[in-house]
Amino acid sequence: MHSLEDIQHFLASHPVATPGTEQVALHLAAGRVSTQTIKAAHELPDFDNSAMDGYAIAMRPEQPLGPFRLVGYAAAGAGERLQIAAGESVRVLTGAPLPLGCQGVVPQEQVKVEGDQVHLDSPLCYGAHMRLRGSELSAGSVLLYRGERLRPLQVGLLATQGHAALEVYRRPVIGVLSTGSELQALGQPLAPGQIYDANRPQLLALAARAGAEVLDLGWVPDDLEVTRERLQAAAGQCDIIISSGGASVGEADHVRTAVEALGAISHWQVAIKPGKPFAFGHVQGKPFLGLPGNPVAAAITFLLLARPFIQRACGETMRSRLPCYLPLAESVENMASRRQFLRARLLEQEGQRCVQAYEQQGSAALASLAEADVLLEIPERTRLAAGMRVRCHHLFELAYA
Ligand SMILES: Nc1nc2c(c(=O)[nH]1)N[C@H]1C(S)=C(S)[C@@H](COP(=O)(O)OP(=O)(O)OC[C@H]3O[C@@H](n4cnc5c(N)ncnc54)[C@H](O)[C@@H]3O)O[C@H]1N2
Ligand code: MOO
């Protein structure tokens, strides 16, 4: 059995091909991974401009309230840069280029204008409402790194530099297969002993959210030959193959044997609960991740092991996440010899954020997974009392970020 870190390190350094690049319109590139480091080509703002509708003033110290002679007009988009001397002003609208020689802008609510004479209600505050060239961003600043996934809130910043499109990595194709003779397709009535296939839609949704193009490989019964045939076909269709179920020790668990007939299993079993029967290997040269059948075990091994691997295949440079430690609302216990990941909710108690594990911690209990905010990481054979701080992993970060 491998430690979680052993497999994580192995997967993090395992070569994984990214499937080429493509140009995508900037607004559609959110969620995609940049192939290039993008630097600001010019400063922001690119020219001094007004932050208010008002009057740009060139001060005359002996006459702080004016009058200032109105000598020009500038709206946003004005191509010409005016120039003023002490005692003069220019009518400016928000975004208009500021005249050379001005020391500040007074909003129109704070002036009186009589003919071409502008009177201030109070003395000019130097630099007021001036957006100076380069004050937000200098040319050459990094806006997006190669291997960084573009977030929607970065799109506007890239647009300020005129980028119409972004070169991104193509999405790798991730195929998801379910195994188990007890599984019934969604939408069909259940016969006695049957259950619906919960893992396949769950894993397809998670893989898509991780940035992959997903391929539904369907379902196979507990049959070695059918499993082998389906995996062989999948290797021709996908960049990475993921299966769930059939990875444990029962006589109906054929996945490992089928993979070994077509390639190899390099790692089997990870010392976490849920999730023990995780397997990693190759099917005809394509990376293969065999997840446990129990739905929570499948989801958690996906989040901890498969997702970072898929993100690398998307071209993403993995950032290390800062752990978060929160106090326990109630004690927790892990008597198992494997580290346990408990589903938990966030609570507020006496103004303090804390966590409370759900009662339902079975490897098949999806209801508490669907509701949970965090996973608590509890070392093997450990009891943690209420109030103690516990290492937490936010499910939003693990599954969506
Ligand atoms: N004697 C032992 N038995 C088991 C061990 C063990 O070490 N020794 N490990 C247990 C652990 S831990 C897990 S986790 C499970 C996982 O086994 P498999 O990966 O082989 O999964 P299956 O046996 O095929 O299924 C387990 C369970 O999950 C249900 N299942 C499977 N696929 C789906 C699906 N797509 N959607 C919904 N539910 C699914 C299946 O019906 C079973 O109930 O093995 C333990 N046993
Ligand atoms: O590793 Mo299993 O997921 O404990 O039931």
**Does residue 276 have its Cβ closer than 6 Å to ligand 2?**
yes
For 99, which DSSP code? P
Beta strands in 6-146 (DSSP E): 21-25, 38-39, 49-50, 54-57, 68-74, 88-92, 104-107, 111-114, 117-120, 130-131, 142-144
Which residue is closest in CA terms to ligand 1's atom 17?
248
d(CA 374, CA 342): 8
pLDDT at position 401: 86
Tell me the DSSP string of 287-342.
EEEEE-SSHHHHHHHIIIIIHHHHHHHTTPPPPPPPPEEEEBSS-EEE-SSSEEEE
CA distance to 56, 70, 203, 266, 315, per residue, from 7 (Å): 64, 72, 20, 10, 20
What's the whole-model pTM score? 0.92
* Pairing verdict, β 88-92 and 68-74: parallel
Q: Whose CA is nearest to atom 3 of ligand 1?
A: 249
> Cα(19)–Cα(245) distance, rounded to whole angstroms?
28
Ligand nearest 222 Cα, by number? 1
Cis peptide before 67 (omega within 30 of 0): yes
**So what's the pLDDT on residue 319?**
81
| pLDDT in the model for residue 366 | 96
Q: Which residue of 244, 273, 378 sits with most ligand 2 atoms within 8 Å of its CB, as the best mutation to test the pocket? A: 273
pLDDT for position 247: 83
Q: Ligand 2 in contact with 295 (CB < 6 A)? A: no
Complex ipTM over 0.95: yes
pLDDT per residue, tens digit, the chain (401 aa), is 999 999 999 999 999 988 899 999 999 999 999 999 999 999 999 999 999 999 999 999 899 998 999 999 999 999 989 999 999 999 999 999 999 999 999 999 999 999 999 999 999 999 999 999 999 999 999 999 999 999 999 999 999 999 999 999 999 999 999 999 999 999 999 999 999 999 999 999 999 999 999 999 999 999 999 999 999 999 999 999 999 998 887 777 789 999 999 999 999 999 999 999 999 999 999 999 999 999 999 999 999 999 999 999 999 998 888 879 999 999 999 999 999 999 999 999 989 999 999 999 999 999 999 999 999 999 999 999 999 999 999 999 999 98
Rounded to a whole number of angstroms, the CA Rg of the chain reads 30
Which atom of ligand 2 is found nearest the CA of 274? 3
